[in-house]
Amino acid sequence: MESARPLALPAFSVPRPAAMGLLPPSLRWLQAPWAYHAAFWTVLYLFNTVYKGYLTKDYPYAFYDYSVRLPVYLVACYGNMYYLLPRLLPQRRYLAYAGALAGGLLVLTVLMQIMLNLLVNARLCPDDVCTAEYTTPLLFSPRNTLSQLFPVLTLVGLATGLKLGKNWVGQQQALQEVERLSLKNELNFLKSQIQPHFFFNTLNNLYSLTLKKSDLAPEIVLKLADLMSYVLYDADAPLVALAKEIECLRNYLALEGLRYGTRLHLAMNVTGEPAGKQLAPLLLLPFVENSFKHGAPPPQLLDIRIALEIEAEVLRLVVENPKNPAPPIGRNGGVGLRNVRRRLALLYPNAHQLTVADTADTYRITLEVPLA
């Protein structure tokens, strides 16, 4: 088993809105991540300055006070996001990260305290706000460290939460994209298996007629051409019109009718209106094909009943055929049906219902799938 490799944390950035792509070239700089960061810190700076100025009734003091604090906050937040987090957390060095963060924040808080006391409090702090401890050039005040550390911790925690939240969202989106591509590739693979399987069976039918030099062979070739056009081109889309899928079934049944002749008793009943409704391509054909493949052997009559019930949001397919006690010779044993089961599980998870009634004499399937 390979050892677990640490995941690299993606860089902190803000997702770009789709509408930003509509900006003129002169305003495209607004799409840059630094513009979002600058906007965040500008809003934070103005809010704290105005708020503290309102509380102290001294806006110049509030302006200089936060002008000293802001560089410390920037160093604390970005030092944590771009240095400590990427280097320690992916390697699961949690104790080292906690110690480095606590030590770094403590040092920065002390430096901020010194600069505030020397540059701001001793000169500008109003008498009713600052005590004598602030108005003297004291370099360090253990008593005030915790109160000065609180806003630093708050901003670092907020920035870290935003970064980790953004990383989580990005990873979830990446996982969803991988799952989507994997699902798409698997569906394409299953569909690619269904197509040659279908053509293989149809060409086998055509081959048997050519051996007999049947006059039906040219008509089968034309029908097969129509089916190939649908399977190779129309069925390449994720969804197809229900009317085209039904037409594909009718063409296939016409081919089988030419092959079986009077031995085939076929009843196909379609109720409901297919116009404007869609479903996954080649979803119904394997069930109908399976009824011929495993139907009664010659010279017995092959009695197949097909019912399509089209409702507002659900399609119900019922296929019933007599059961052949002996498996067909030289066939692949249900490749198409296995594939369509897998496709149903991928395309309509927990949204479809497939019921198989397998008795001694008959084989009946009932499929219900949602319509788009």
Q: 17-31, 285-299, 353-367: which range is least confident on average?
A: 17-31
Report the pLDDT value the prediction gives residue 133, as an integer from 0 to 100.
46
Strands 264-271 and 302-310: parallel
Query: What kind and span of H or E run contains 241?
Result: strand 240-241
Report the pLDDT value the prediction gives residue 354, as an integer from 0 to 100.
92
Number of Cβ within a 10 Å radius of residue 106 = 13
Tens of pLDDT, residues 138-183: 555 666 777 778 888 888 888 888 777 777 787 777 777 766 666 6
Under the banding of pLDDT at 50, 70 and 90, the label for residue 26 is low
> What is the three-class DSSP state of 4?
coil
Give percent helix, percent strand, percent coil of the chain, each to the nearest 5.
65, 10, 25
Q: List Cβ neighbours of 112 (8 Å cut-off, separation of 6 or more).
A: 68, 69, 72, 148, 152
Q: 120-134, 199-213, 224-238, 287-301: which range is least confident on average?
A: 120-134
Tell me which residue of 287, 269, 274, 203 sits closest to 245, measured CA to CA: 274
Complete DSSP assignment for 92-137: T-HHHHHHHHHHHHHHHHHHHHHHIIIIIIHHH--TTT--HHHHS-
pTM exceeding 0.75: no
Report the pLDDT value the prediction gives residue 116, as an integer from 0 to 100.
79
C-alpha distances in Å from residue 222, one per residue of 14, 54, 245: 57, 86, 18
Report the pLDDT value the prediction gives residue 9, as an integer from 0 to 100.
37
Lookup result for tokens 């490799």: 5
Q: Is the predicted pLDDT of residue 58 greater than 70, yes or no?
A: yes
Q: Is the predicted pLDDT of residue 77 greater than 80, yes or no?
A: yes
The Cα–Cα gap between 104 and 98 comes to 10
Q: 154-158, 224-228, 277-281, 297-301: which range is least confident on average?
A: 297-301
Q: Please, what are the domains in the chain?
A: 18-140 (no CATH), 186-370 (3.30.565.10)
The more confidently predicted of residues 146 and 14 is 146
Under the banding of pLDDT at 50, 70 and 90, the label for residue 131 is low
Tell me which residue of 61, 62, 151, 148 sits closest to 113, measured CA to CA: 148
The Cα–Cα gap between 368 and 353 comes to 5
What mean pLDDT do residues 273-289 have? 88
Report the pLDDT value the prediction gives residue 331, as an integer from 0 to 100.
45
